[in-house]
């Protein structure tokens, strides 16, 4: 409730060069110049299919019937040669700079007004004024349609949550500290799929690789590998893939993380048993469903 009140009271102008209609929906054509050419081609195709000038995530049809993306558009967009990870160069760096400026401005506003210190290093996108559109966009444009293609055993996704995580070195933290986190240990996510969008330019931080290992519960021989993040690029992987963030040794690293789930999948599969690769009768109980 406190964060919602702060979001409603925030009045600073947004630096984002975007257009919204009278209903508050993002006009898709205003986003196209800020996408890479392969990403813009896909969005233009989907807009033509939905026959609406609005960002297609606002349309009911997008939720119930995601439109397949043709291979000739998909293949230039998705790097599939990364052993179960999928990398998509999505936004232009200048636009990511504007996005980060918007987020950091709001964090500075919160720093002296909220008693919830954790929001200064993990910020729920729902509480950032004028920014919820990016959560919808990433879900409908990347998480949902690509899960159908890349993880075909998972039914269509219908739930998502996005947040911004910041990492920096302790000696460089200003009074309006955005974070006190320098790394993240190995873990899996309570999601069917996870996407990671880098907001910071690569020159803004040292270290901070995304380190990805095995898929938990599968028993494969996947080799651990590290990925240097690229500003504006999205990395997508299964939620039960073991991953971590190596230590940030200089500067600040800001990323947007989105978890996505399928309620239909979870009605039939206990997520705890699925994560651990257990088959047969569930041993966890109904609280996990």
From first to last of the 289 residues of the chain, give the pLDDT tens digit: 566 666 666 666 777 888 888 877 788 888 999 999 999 998 888 778 777 666 655 544 555 566 778 888 888 888 876 677 889 999 999 999 999 998 888 888 877 776 555 666 778 888 888 888 898 889 888 888 888 777 888 888 889 999 999 888 765 555 555 556 889 999 999 999 999 999 999 999 999 999 998 888 776 666 788 888 999 999 999 898 899 999 999 988 999 999 999 988 888 877 777 777 777 677 676 555 4
Backbone angles phi, psi at 60, to 5 degrees: -55, -35
What is the reported pTM? 0.87
pLDDT for res 289: 47
Separation between Cα atoms, residue 99 and residue 77, nearest integer Å:
22
For the chain, the domain total comes to 1
Whether residue 179 lies inside any domain: the answer is yes
Q: Does the residue 278 lie in any domain?
A: no
CA atoms within 13 A on the CB side of 162: 21
Identify the CA nearest to 226 among candidates 209, 242, 238: 209
279 falls within a domain:
no
Chain-centroid distance of CA 11 in Å reads: 25
Q: What is the CATH number of the domain that holds 40?
A: 2.60.120.620
The backbone region for 106, taken as left when phi is positive above 0, alpha when psi lies in -120 to 50, beta otherwise, is alpha
> Closest Cα partner for 202 from 210, 193, 191?
210
Q: Can you give the pLDDT at residue 2?
A: 66
Sequence-distant (6+) residues with CB within 8 A of 46 are 56, 67, 69, 141
User: HSE on the CB side for 114, CA within 13 Å?
Assistant: 26
Please name every residue paired with 242 in a beta bridge, in sequence order, or none if there are none: none
Under 8 Å between Cβ of 123 and 158:
no
Within-domain flag for 282 = no
Reduced to 3 states, what is the DSSP secondary structure of residue 58? Answer: helix
Helix (H) or strand (E) holding 46: helix 37-50
Task: Please give the Cα distance from 30 to 56 (Å, whole number).
Answer: 13
Within a domain: 246: yes
Would you say residue 33 lies in a domain?
A: yes
Q: Which domain holds residue 213?
A: 2-268
């Amino acid at each position: 409730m406190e964060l919602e009140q702060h979001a409603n009271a925030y009045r600073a102008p947004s630096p984002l060069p975007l257009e919204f209609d009278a209903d508050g929906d993002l006009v898709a054509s205003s986003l196209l110049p800020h996408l890479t050419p392969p990403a813009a081609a896909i969005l233009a195709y989907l807009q033509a299919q939905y026959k609406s000038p609005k960002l297609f995530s606002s349309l009911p049809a997008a939720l119930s019937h995601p439109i397949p993306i043709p291979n000739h558009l998909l293949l230039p967009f998705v790097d599939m040669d990364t052993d179960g990870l999928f990398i998509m160069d999505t936004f232009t760096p200048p636009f990511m700079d504007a996005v980060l400026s918007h987020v950091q401005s709001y964090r500075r506003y919160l720093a002296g007004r909220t008693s919830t210190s954790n929001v200064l290093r993990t910020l729920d996108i729902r509480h950032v004024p004028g920014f919820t559109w990016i959560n919808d966009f990433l879900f409908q444009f990347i998480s949902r349609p690509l899960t159908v293609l890349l993880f075909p055993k998972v039914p269509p996704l219908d739930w998502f949550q996005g947040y911004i995580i910041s990492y920096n070195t302790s000696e460089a933290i200003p009074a309006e500290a955005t974070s006190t986190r320098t790394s993240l240990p190995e873990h899996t996510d309570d999601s069917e799929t996870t996407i990671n969008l880098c907001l910071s330019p690569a020159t803004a931080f040292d270290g901070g690789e995304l380190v990805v290992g095995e898929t938990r519960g599968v028993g494969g021989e996947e080799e651990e590998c590290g990925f240097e993040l690229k500003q504006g690029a999205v990395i997508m992987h299964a939620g039960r893939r073991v991953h971590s963030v190596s230590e940030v040794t200089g500067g600040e690293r800001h990323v947007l993380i989105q978890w996505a789930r399928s309620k239909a999948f979870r009605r039939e599969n206990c997520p705890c048993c699925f994560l651990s690769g257990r088959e047969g009768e569930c041993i966890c109980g109904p609280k996990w469903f």
